[in-house]
Structure 1
Amino acid sequence: MHTLMVADDHPLFREAIAAVIEAGLPGSRLLEAESLGEALRRAEACDELDLVLLDLGLPDSEGLEGLRVLRDTLPWLPVAILSADQERRTILDAINLGAVGYIPKSTPRRDLLAALNQLLEGQLYLPPDIMRRPPPPRPPPVPEQSSPSLRLHELTDKQLEVLLRLRHGASNKVIARELAIAETTVKSHVSAILHKLGVPGRVQAILAVGEADLEGLLAERHGVSP
């Protein structure tokens, strides 16, 4: 069904995650890693990996550095943070760096399973109370770069088709099946899309294109009415 990885240096916590997945996601496969280095090696060797659950306290990375390394090395790979740190700033920084979700370790079992299902469906997951907390001070404005919507014209037809399905919440596996291409090819397209749009992750790509008429752009290129 799905292949997930939990990267956490506490064996008991990995066992707890394994129990949740075995009971709530039957048929799914769980890989385990106790360090960032091991997580990278196992992720690079597994083409079927759908989601990584990353702890912020791994012995060979500090804070969000592990997320940065994973995003830089495997930009196609969905990564969610699983941490005891519930600071709003940390959560928002993780999302800005390209994480597809943030799950506190205190999350009840039923809510954890719901979060995993949401993430595997291609949706963003945040703790329910995060938006109820006072927002942090807004950073000073920065000079505006070229709009991601303008960069859509840099995408190939196939990349537009992949982006369209990303916006609908499709996983790499689903996109590969619908477009009749290899999953590794989908991953390459996702990496290229993120690079061309100048965003760190899938969620940010979806937000960047907003309500852009991707279908219309594809139709225009092929000289047909949308």
Structure 2
Amino acid sequence: MFHKEGKLIITATIILALIATDLTYFLLKDLAWLQYIIYAVALFFVYIILQFFRNPKRHTKVSDNHVVAPVDGKVVVIEEVFEPEYFKDKRLQVSIFMSPLNVHVTRYGLSGLIKYSKYHPGKYLVAWHPKASEENERTTIVVENKTFGEVLYRQIAGALAKRIVNYAEEGQEVLQGTDAGFIKFGSRVDLFLPLDAKINVSLNQKVKGAEDIIASL
């Protein structure tokens, strides 16, 4: 199963791969070894694109008492920080880095009401850069939940990510684990949680979006 955001790119990649293999067959008949190399490269690129846009079904244990991972990836930050854009006070930050091979669907980490949704143009620093959260292209979304109150998550573009897709609209009721957007080609998501939240993950832990529990109350 593939995400709808990848339909155009997947189709274009397959068409280009077919054109490349056809041209190779007709133009390089006397160079079988080169044909096989080009076939392998074309197949590799199709495989990478299909991997990137896959959208596996996830089984979310829906609960207002915990926050699930919004994306697949590795936990790279767990710390108390000052959040300057929306809360303007201290929060617990948990950041998840996605490599180009991770599933890049963004899912809602908790159910609730969208209180804030804003896009910020910016730079394309590598996603793990300390200033990526403030200077890179990003979207900031705040979900108000019955148990956690307001929780902020931020989709951040990386050095390769050139497009962030955000489905969250202010005033919208959302369900934990459902699609919240997509980030194309390598990126990061930051969560900003209440200071009394119990963090259930550790640094460098790999997490699965919509299933692994990040924090609880």
Give the shorter-chain TM-score range: under 0.3
TM-score normalised to structure 2 length: 0.23
Which structure has the bigger radius of gyration? 2
Higher relative contact order (CA 8 A, sep 6+): 2
* Bigger strand fraction: 2
* Bigger helix fraction: 1
TM-score normalised to structure 1 length: 0.23
